[in-house]
Structure 1
Amino acid sequence: MSTLTATHPAAGPAPADPAHDYLDLDGLLSPEEIALRARVRGFVDERIRPHVADWFESAHFPRDLVPEMGSQGLLGMHLHGYGCAGRSAVEYGLAALELEAGDSGIRTFVSVQGSLAMSAIHRFGSEEHKRRWLPGMAAGELIGCFGLTEPGAGSDPGGMTTRAVRDGGQWVLSGAKRWIGLASVADVAVIWARTDDGVRGFVVPTDTAGFTATPITAKLSIRTSIQCDVTLDDVRVPADAVLPGAAGLAGPFSCLNEARYGIMWGAIGAARDAYETALTYALERRQFGEPIAAFQLTQQKLVDMALEIQKGQLVALRTGRLKDAGRLRPEQISFGKLNNVREAIAICHQARTVLGGNGITGEYSPLRHANNLESVRTYEGTDEVHTLIMGRALTGIPAFAAAARR
């Protein structure tokens, strides 16, 4: 007889639910990280999910949520001091994931406010800039925007034509920006412009004469957010409006990397919500006398979605740990942004097929998420741009202007 005897395993943590966390990735998070995630998820469930389909349909930005997000510590939450929460990169990522599980447009607001406008002021602004703007922005009492992209300079910010010229004790800004998030509701804009000494950033109150922001209304995506055309018609600001710590394109690019980091987390939130919607539907919807979750092709779709969501979460978490350790390189951010957004779009489209015809209605989230993610795929670096960033890292050869050099 075998000497082995059956024993009951010692009590331990409950096994992961494979339908939602197949690899028990929660085991890689601290109790504090899990608590923050739960708090943000609760906020999304209470304040965003019940209304987001209507907001999307009516192209409504829920401005009343801004001070609520401020009170939740979600605005500039990865920054330290000046009323900011001083959370880790991983905690910010988890918050972005939960916010985008609600809607990309809501996460976009947090990104524009915190990762772009606030980060630029926090990293490159004068002490006066920081004290004047950051506490109010962190509280959601003030809104900021970030003016880099132009009608003729999207993926190539080096082609910007907006100019800033010294005129005595003032700067005069002239030009145009496009796809500027929040500009029509912002109190302050960080505007990037060419000067005789290269590209510089300027802190511009939006009530300054000559600053005009016009919302872009014909959108099929991120309809809960605001994007604008901005005209700068001889906008005069004082000499100290310039961001003293930023010179050249390295300044705005560093802010873009902050936003790209949050995107890699957020996209997985949209994908997770689409997958969970499809899973619930598949278990409840009956055809041919069975729940459609019993069919092999449906199970294959659900498995494919679960695989990519779990891999995307691992990519985001590893990237966040590197960021918190001060070891993250820009090309590693491109890895996560490129992979996670691309896979999230595929997951959302696949989830829609599980829902059949019902999936094209606003009652279900996957197609809304898929539409939103087309914008996320484009802003803060297209697939092509991040492919070339990675290609340069892999080969040592920059291919961005290869055609122009031939």
Structure 2
Amino acid sequence: MPTFYEFFAGGGMARAGLGCEWHCLLANDFDRKKGQTYADNWGETGLVVDDIRNIGPEDMVGKPDLVWGSFPCQDLSLAGGGAGLRGDRSGTFWPFIEVLRTLRAENRSPPVVAVENVLGTLTSHAGKDFQAIIGALADLGYRPGAFVADAALFVPQSRPRLFVVAVRDDLEPIGAGEGPHLPWHTPALRRAFCGLPDSLADRWIWWDMPVPSRREMRFADIIEDKPTSVKWHTSTETRTLLSMMSEVNLAKVKTAQASGVRMVGGVYKRTRWAQGVKVQRAEVRFDDVAGCLRTPAGGSSRQLILVVEGEKIRSRLISSRETARLMGLPNSYRLPAGYNEAYHLTGDGVAVPVVRHIAKYIIEPIVSGQHTLRAIPSYANHPLREE
């Protein structure tokens, strides 16, 4: 059975994605409430609720096949303060690297390291933070590569995220492709790759995966008629929400009314300029996909839903169970009782089916095979870098 460490574990969504065929040797998060939810779902064995800086060799049992780290995004987010890897939160990437350095010193370097974060990582500090991440992994004896995976390929939530997967130098990078292609290698990622020095581009891997079959689940499919964590708005509250919409967004509502079917839209409140004045607007989308779940710490309000059935319009906050479903968690997953705590937990997580897809097509073939390295192309002189 393959083994793993999960850092910045939150509620264990990476663990859920890896599945029961994997054995967790260590799970770490500094947040006590998230740690309790992790324990509620996975038990306390191997769980260490503490700052990653306090994790020592005595906590890191065994020799993991995978080390996963979904380190905090706030300082890398486009909505954040721009501190990047120098920030108090996203800067915890460096203690994560120290953990890997400790494992290397003890001859326990895992075959695969995976990190996940927001797309702002690609452009933070003009690409220098992305280069620092790739460089840090390369310095530890890994060949890194990156791709962008949007949760919308699997669940009805728009949630593109950057994944960096690095394979140990002595192992064959099963899953390496011949070059960049959509949907995994976006223009922003290609530009970030072009900004790497030749020494890092020479070690780069263009990871490749099959594109999943068309998603059948719609946003409307995950909506609860009788949620327990939130209440439906009063008619007055719904009218107030509609009054905050621009003509463009009101037209979307009217189109939904005229469709003749039940339509569910996701709503965010955002500050916009109107005639030289900042006003708060309610913006809705009816494309069967929810907006990205974000926490207030990530620079966004909580998401609302608008249910339109002909002339009948209802609104409310999205429920905690609905947010869990948007992350691909099963209904059996135990959420915190408090709404804000549950929303924070899911909004900070990684989409479960995305992890499963990556594990199936990249991580597990490497771990199960662990074949010694064969020659793979160098990308230092890739035509893309000459554009």
TM beyond 0.5: no
TM-score w.r.t. the length of structure 1 is 0.25
Higher helix share: 1
Bigger radius of gyration = 1
